């Protein structure tokens, strides 16, 4: 196989939708464990997961006896729970219901004397089913899970390069289990206008308390029928949706209020030119950021690393 195609594999949403839906619920369970046991960090950055060489990880989570970590190993197809006391427990990642997965994860933590009670309902999904009752989602296709892992690794590398070019406040590159996307967010340093919507969730208020430019990757869903890169600015400045961005296939989606670049529109470049998918993704990240930063009059000179110094950070 072409090694560049291996790094940017096909990931048609229709081919793994059932597995995606099941895995989404599993990551929510693990993410909620981390969120419950860690102190709140601005914008709920304490809740996220991170890309690892083998899949996704919580990173260390504190508990009274020390720390523990939960890893989705998408190579061996195991969920691995390790503690600082040397205990290691593994659960199979295989076709099984969300209810079964939830029960085994919580009983395993109890056996390790890790006391945690989570809000055991999924977030940010239509028609949520409590984890303990969810016998609907039970698919696990190893091939597509591994493809997703390889996409996450490729995207994570580009987003970290992009992050290194910014010296203002910036999020880590992290995976949001609620929306099931990997993202990085830059901040202008200015407060955002308060939101007036009384139905707005507390998490959204926390996430958008300041002006942001955010970008990432999502496997798709709803009106978006395949995997896509996205970029948006909040508050959205006048003229943003008509700003010229690159590469050419990128477009502004009025339904969700974001610039999109479909994954398949850059994936094909992997067959013919070394590094081209990554360079086209970087072009999308940079030009959509510039659209928001220029129109909102961010102090770019103070917020960005001079290009001649980027090699220091690997940018």
Yes or no: say if 302 and 168 are a contact pair by the CB < 8 Å rule.
Answer: yes
Burial class (CB in 10 A: 0-12, 13-18, 19+), 201: exposed
84 and 225 co-located in one domain: no
* Bridge partner residues of 259 (DSSP): 231, 252
Among 99, 133, 167, residue at a domain's last position? 133
Task: For residues 166 and 120, give the distance between their C-alpha atoms in angstroms, rounded to a whole number.
Answer: 37
Q: Is residue 5 part of a domain?
A: no
Q: What is the pLDDT of residues 118-172, one digit of tens each?
A: 999 999 999 999 999 999 999 999 999 999 999 999 999 999 999 999 999 999 9
> In the chain, which residues have pLDDT < 70?
1-4, 195-205, 269-274, 308-315
Q: Is residue 111 part of a domain?
A: yes
Q: Is residue 180 part of a domain?
A: yes
| Number of domains forming the structure of the chain | 2
Domain carrying residue 63: 10-133
Q: Is the pTM of this model over 0.95?
A: no
Q: Is residue 139 part of a domain?
A: no
Among 133, 157, 183, residue at a domain's last position? 133
């Amino acid at each position: 196989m072409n090694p560049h195609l291996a790094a940017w594999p096909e990931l048609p949403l229709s081919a793994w939708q059932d597995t995606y839906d099941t895995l989404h619920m599993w990551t929510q369970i693990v993410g909620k464990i981390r969120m419950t046991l860690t102190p709140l960090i601005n914008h709920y950055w304490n809740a996220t997961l991170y890309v690892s060489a083998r899949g996704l990880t919580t990173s260390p989570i504190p508990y009274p006896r020390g720390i523990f970590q939960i890893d989705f190993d998408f190579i061996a197809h195991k969920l691995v729970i390790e503690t600082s006391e040397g205990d290691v427990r593994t659960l199979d990642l295989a076709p099984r219901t969300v209810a079964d997965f939830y029960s085994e994860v919580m009983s395993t933590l109890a056996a390790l004397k890790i006391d945690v009670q989570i809000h055991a309902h999924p977030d940010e999904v239509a028609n949520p089913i409590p984890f303990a009752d969810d016998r609907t989602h039970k698919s696990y296709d190893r091939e597509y899970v591994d493809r997703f892992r390889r996409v996450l690794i490729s995207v994570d590398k580009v987003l970290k390069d992009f992050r290194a070019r910014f010296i203002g406040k910036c999020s880590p590159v992290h995976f949001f289990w609620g929306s099931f996307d990997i993202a990085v967010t830059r901040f202008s340093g200015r407060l955002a206008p308060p939101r007036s919507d009384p139905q707005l969730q507390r998490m959204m208020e926390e996430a958008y308390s300041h002006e942001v430019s955010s970008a990432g990757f999502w496997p798709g869903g709803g009106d978006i029928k395949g995997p896509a890169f996205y970029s948006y600015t909040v508050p959205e400045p006048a003229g943003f949706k008509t700003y010229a961005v690159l590469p050419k296939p990128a477009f502004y989606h009025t339904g969700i209020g974001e610039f999109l670049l479909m994954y398949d529109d850059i994936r094909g470049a992997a067959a013919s030119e070394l590094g081209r998918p990554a360079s086209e993704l970087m072009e999308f990240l940079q030009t959509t950021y510039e659209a928001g930063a220029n129109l909102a009059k961010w102090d770019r000179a103070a917020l960005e690393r001079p290009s001649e110094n980027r090699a220091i950070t690997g940018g």
